[in-house]
A and B are shown apart, each in its own frame.
Chain A
């Protein structure tokens, strides 16, 4: 990386920034899931590790969350955008040099942010835990340069049309900056009480709704047609998906606070909008699955499609759960339980992660012009991720239902802890499988870069995946 920081723009090979972001994202995925596994172990076996203040659950949870969101998910998004955006505009990235610097400063900033969280320096707000100097750093050093590269690449495209994926990329980066700056208002302006609570959840909801979910969807809009060779089923359904995300995903933040004294009309509005998130979900899933027509064999044979379509299929329970769990009638039962933790992991470790993993697998092969070192290891990674995630999701969902019942029937807390214990062990087991799967993935990608077979010019990695 260092040799490119001060190189001339023309001397930096295309795809360099995307590769750095891609490798960083895998490394952060390992760190993030390793921390998650450690945290889960502490919940499953309370005597597992104690004595060091910085490694207590209260500190480690935030570090895990931010390592995964800002490290894995966001950097995988950056990697994807930095090779997909130019590819769709038949052009090159606006500035590889900016991308390389962006990647370096992103990693430095994230290390600093996590170190502060680790040492207990926090705003105390869930998901917007960082203190304001770090917020400013994230906004203006990590996100704005990344967005600038995406927007300028689209502006400098050599096509008249803009493909669906690039609508999402450009719009989501714009909306993310707005969400980040406004959502951290409690930190800038010392808002308290209900204003603080609402803004905190407006931020958390919209980071999910206007960055993580739509960008993951945008990635699949690229991977599926590109790898299968099928045209996207419908440009017009893409319109429906895009606009319904903007309209229905940006409005239901109050459904995170259904038990708060927010105005009830606002909660009613948020609750209806929350169910209407099914509109983009239905449009999106229908568009992608219909694009697969005649190519379903690739769901078994091709690693990128396997990851992508699994992610798309996970979007179905994700949105069904999300739509209904926020209604008043259901929310009073599952609010504040492990059910919500399961749902959050369905979004981030399920739908989103599978889409991003596909993009990183595909991007690294295309940019390095090398096919995967080992398809078997990639399949092993897929199954470790899927089984590990499934164990996590089902155990936490059951655990949440137990907690919900206990909350309603006022069962003593210690009895709930005992009842949940087996599920906490399964949760730890599932998370640990994901962690070990990711280590195998990193090994596979390092070996791909070092000794992977060269992909002939003009061929797709998928076309030569099974040739020697």
Chain B
């Protein structure tokens, strides 16, 4: 296998080897089938690049994140406030009315304050029944002094997130970044793939050469 690197974008193969490849290409019938040596059409190259950009853009971990316990901490605090508890325990209205009014009160109160979690709260709405189930778990975590952003709410449970963001000091942060190492691997994986395929096709005779199929067929 002779390699030549003087014109890498033209061919990586010596002229002798290219000539031998051309002889086989033109002189051999593979079950009556012939193959051309056309390059990938330029619009298709553009489409493939667009595919890569789209792949990274549309799969950003930012989209589809699980709710963290942190986004419900204010809900829990408000639910346990005297104001909301009074509504929840109001015997003059029905149970369902109490739930609806209490939740409306919580959401109205939250709307008055800026929060880094506004977007995620809209993505992951919650009702009072669900809040009641997760509230004691969130309170326990707050007492333990942990970072609630490292905990996910999955159904009725609040559990430690399954992220492995290893920090420079060796500690592991269980938070979902908008760009994670899976992304980084994908990026380099794609670059590696492109290089490997370019090398593979550049070992073939240059695409300007058109095989003569009348020789073998």
Residues of A near any B CB (own CB < 8 A): 84, 87-90, 159-164, 222, 225-226, 231-240, 243-244, 247-248, 251, 258, 261-276, 278-279, 282-283, 286, 290, 323-324, 327-329, 331-332
Contact = CB atoms under 8 A, between A and B. Distances in A.
Contacts of B38: 233-234, 236-237, 290
B51 A222 contact: no
B207 A236 contact: yes
Given A159-B30, A328-B59, A328-B64, A243 B182 contact: no
Contacts of B29: 90, 159
Interface string B34-48: 111111110010011
A247 B47 CA distance: 19
Given A162-B30, A235-B204, 18 more contacts: A87-B31, A87-B32, A88-B33, A161-B28, A163-B30, A225-B33, A226-B31, A231-B33, A231-B35, A233-B36, A236-B37, A239-B201, A262-B162, A264-B163, A266-B182, A279-B48, A286-B40, A324-B58
B39 A232 contact: no
A331 B29 CA distance: 47
Contact of B64 (A243, A282, A327): A327
B24 A231 contact: no
Interface of B: 24-25, 28-41, 44, 47-48, 51-52, 54-56, 58-59, 61, 63-65, 154, 162-164, 176, 180-183, 185-186, 189-190, 193, 196-197, 200-201, 204, 207, 211, 213
Contacts of A243: 193, 196-197, 200
A286 B39 CA distance: 11
Contacts of A329: 58, 63-64
B197 A234 contact: no
A161 B24 contact: yes
B197 A240 contact: yes
Contacts of B183: 265, 268-269, 272
A304 B213 CA distance: 24
Interface of A is mostly: helix
B64 A331 contact: yes
28 contacts: A159-B30, A160-B28, A161-B25, A163-B31, A222-B33, A226-B33, A233-B36, A233-B38, A234-B39, A236-B204, A236-B207, A247-B189, A247-B193, A262-B162, A265-B163, A265-B180, A266-B182, A269-B182, A273-B186, A276-B52, A276-B186, A279-B48, A279-B52, A282-B47, A282-B51, A323-B55, A328-B65, A329-B63
A306 B154 CA distance: 49
B59 A327 contact: yes
Contacts of B162: 261-264
B30 A268 contact: no
Nearest to B213: A231
Contacts of B180: 264-265, 268
Contacts of B33: 88, 163, 222, 225-226, 231-232
Contacts of B52: 276, 279
Highest count of chain B CB atoms <10 Å: which of A90, A232, A258, A264? A264
Contacts of B197: 239-240, 243-244
Contacts of B154: 261
B40 A240 contact: yes
